[in-house]
Amino acid sequence: MNQPVSQKLFFWTLVVISIITLSAPTLVVLGASLTSGNIIVFPPDGLSLKWYEALVEKQELQDAFIRSIWVAIICVFISLPTGTLAGIALTKYRLRKGALIQTYLLLPFTIPLIGSGIGLMLVFGEVGVLGSLWPVGVATAVINLPFMIWAVSSSATGLDPDLELAAQNCGAGPVQTFFYVTLPSVMPGIITGSLLMFILSLNEFLVSLLLVDARIVTLPVQVYNSIRSIITPDLAAVSVVFIAVAMLAIAVLDKLVGLEIFLKSK
Amino acid sequence: MRRNLSSYPLMWRLMDMLEAIFKKIWPKGGGFWSPYLMLSPAILLVGLLVLGLGYIGDASLRTLDTSTFLFSEEWSLTNYERALIEPFIRSVIWRSILGATIVTMITLLLAFPYTYVMVRTRSAFLRKFLLITLFLPFFIGQVVRAYGWLIILGKQGIVNDILGLVGIEPLRMLFNYPSVLFGLIQYMFPFAVLMLAPALTAIPEEIEAAAESLGASWVETMLHVIFPMAKSGMIGAGLVVLTLSLTDFAMPAILGGGTQDFVANAIYDQFFRTSDQGFGSSLAVLLIVIGSFLVWVVFVLVGAGTLAMGAKDK
């Protein structure tokens, strides 16, 4: 379509501002991690990888990273089956009290994170499991569950009920129908949802902050604690780990389902 | 025929077994209970959250005795009265509500053209570029992004270094209200675009062409055709941005430097600095009430927008 010049100008000005705002922190952190000086300055003192080498020495950062990965794995392990089943059920069946169930399942989004975090902290504290890592994984699964349900249910709307009937007509029982017809047709949603859950859980800061103690800090909390003392470039090098994981996730997502899936209308 | 029987694949045997088990448990083939059964793990998981809310509600009704450092046995509304009277808390609440409103408006203003260009562009490369630019910060997390802003805006930060090169005195750009709002806008942007995109995709391009062929300028087409049709997406995006920024913790904590606390920071301080669980809980309840009230108002006025999950009622 031919757009008038004024429209192009207006839109593109805002788009360029947005692109700069979106990318600036990432680019700067990348740049800062490569500095050869001891403080972060612009223009940089010179390039070096010495802050990455310094990471090898930092046992507590490595431990925090591994803990964060565990938390993310636990989160996906819990939310994948839970969210998939719920997403399919919500889409396939016209449920009695469907609206009520939907509102209920959206609670993790409508309740502020600080509220959910403190509530879960009190619950886990009551049971006496605070201080281990798995409650953090469970908590991140709870607070992000709607993302998983959502991803699955939006790809389940494309599921043709006739296909399932056809499978049953050919002699497939309910289990076979589920694994060979229903599940493959919502696979893009499951992949998207699991990746989202993994990344969000890996990056989860506030709920981690509330649920961990000094012995089991996760990486975002570790970075937060360090930011508040002194800012040194080794922190930038750690942050690049997050950036690298994010890039990897985007690449995988694009390869497997295509980023354009997020532009589709339901 | 014997050969065929022995070559019956293992997978099929497994499936037969599962089918048999399934049949044992639900002889009638599932029927009424099966969707509810499928939903039960999710309902239980979210149940943890509800349980947590119960604990918060209970704690919020118990007052801390500062001499013995114990919480009262009886319930009372003292904490809530304190929360509504104390000027510090009041200012924190207003700062959060005002901040969330400003952030929502600016984010929507920026996210709309971004989404529009991304959805409408003919160039697959541009679309991919905009998507990646969007997802990268989305996947990086708040702490690292805030850290990036510290490097850019700090006293010895990049912007001040550049200003110094042209002889301008260093500016104090951090630890004030605008820097917190700015950080929030950048944090919320991807959420807004992802909520808007499906709504804009759903609008056929021909409709714009039709509006223009009838003599509408592009501004009129936007205002009278695209905005009304994208309403559900705008509502979804606006709601998500509003509630998330209202209740955010990391940006005020890192970019505000303790001087620009939002409600979440005040709650955190009550729990971990003052150790007054009761008062902290009452603030948490207030925040939930304010947040839900805002969401409820929008739901009643204009519906759930793109926030609805699963089957549409329409």
Tell me the residues of chain A between 74 and 93 that have a Cβ less than 8 Å away from chain B. 78-79, 81-83, 85-93
Look at A245-254, B26-35, B57-66 and tell me which has the smallest mean pLDDT.
B26-35
**How far off is chain B from A173, nearest CA to CA, in Å?**
6
Identify the pLDDT of residue B283.
94
Smallest Cβ–Cβ distance between B38 and the set A18, A29, A89 belongs to A89
Name every chain B residue with its beta carbon within 8 A of the beta carbon of A263. 118-119, 127, 131, 197-198, 201
Domain membership of residue B256 as a residue range: 85-307
pLDDT at residue B262 is higher than 90 = yes
- Residue B64 parent element (H or E): strand B64-65
Contact B121, B115 (CB under 8 A): no
Domain count, chain B: 1
d(CA A85, CA A92): 11
CATH number of the domain encompassing residue B295: 1.10.3720.10
Smallest Cβ–Cβ distance between B135 and the set A82, A89, A259 belongs to A259
CATH 1.20.1290.10 fits A58-263, yes or no: no
pLDDT band at B5 (very low <50, low <70, confident <90, very high): low
Instruction: Compare A184 and A15 and report the one with higher pLDDT.
Output: A15
Touching check for A153 and chain B: CB below 8 Å? yes
Instruction: Compare A238 and A73 and report the one with higher pLDDT.
Output: A73
What pLDDT digit, counting tens, does each position of B189-213 carry?
999 998 899 889 989 989 988 998 8
The verdict on a CB contact (< 8 Å) between A85 and B158 is no
pLDDT band at B183 (very low <50, low <70, confident <90, very high): very high
**Whole-prediction pTM value?**
0.87
**How far off is chain B from A14, nearest CA to CA, in Å?**
6
Identify whether B112 is part of a domain: yes
Overall average pLDDT of the B3-26 stretch: 77
What are the extents of the domains in chain A? 58-263
pLDDT at residue A108 is higher than 60 = yes
Name every chain A residue with its beta carbon within 8 A of the beta carbon of B190. 22
What pLDDT digit, counting tens, does each position of B165-182 carry?
888 888 888 888 999 999
The verdict on a CB contact (< 8 Å) between B140 and A227 is no
What pLDDT digit, counting tens, does each position of B64-105 carry?
877 777 788 888 888 999 888 999 999 999 999 999 999 999
pLDDT at residue A39 is higher than 80 = no
d(CA A192, CA A80): 11
Overall average pLDDT of the A243-256 stretch: 92
Residue closest to B118 by CA, chosen among A199, A19, A255: A19
What pLDDT digit, counting tens, does each position of A1-17 carry?
567 888 889 999 999 99
The verdict on a CB contact (< 8 Å) between B128 and A106 is no
The verdict on a CB contact (< 8 Å) between B38 and A85 is yes
Identify whether B12 is part of a domain: no
Torsion of CA A111, A115, A121, A122, to 10 degrees: -100
The verdict on a CB contact (< 8 Å) between A10 and B113 is yes
The verdict on a CB contact (< 8 Å) between A85 and B39 is yes
d(CA A40, CA A23): 18
What pLDDT digit, counting tens, does each position of A188-200 carry?
899 989 999 999 9
Give Rg (Cα) of chain B.
27
Identify whether B277 is part of a domain: yes
Average pLDDT, chain A: 87
pLDDT at residue A110 is higher than 90 = no
Q: How far is CA A64 from the centre of its chain?
A: 18
Identify the pLDDT of residue B156.
75
The verdict on a CB contact (< 8 Å) between B46 and A26 is no
A14 to chain B: closest CA residue: B110
pLDDT at residue A44 is higher than 80 = no
Identify whether B96 is part of a domain: yes
Identify whether B169 is part of a domain: yes
A22 to chain B: closest CA residue: B186
Q: What are phi and psi of A92, to 5 degrees?
A: -80, -35
Identify whether B149 is part of a domain: yes
ipTM of this complex = 0.87
Identify the pLDDT of residue B310.
46
pLDDT band at B304 (very low <50, low <70, confident <90, very high): low
CA atoms within 13 A on the CB side of B252: 26
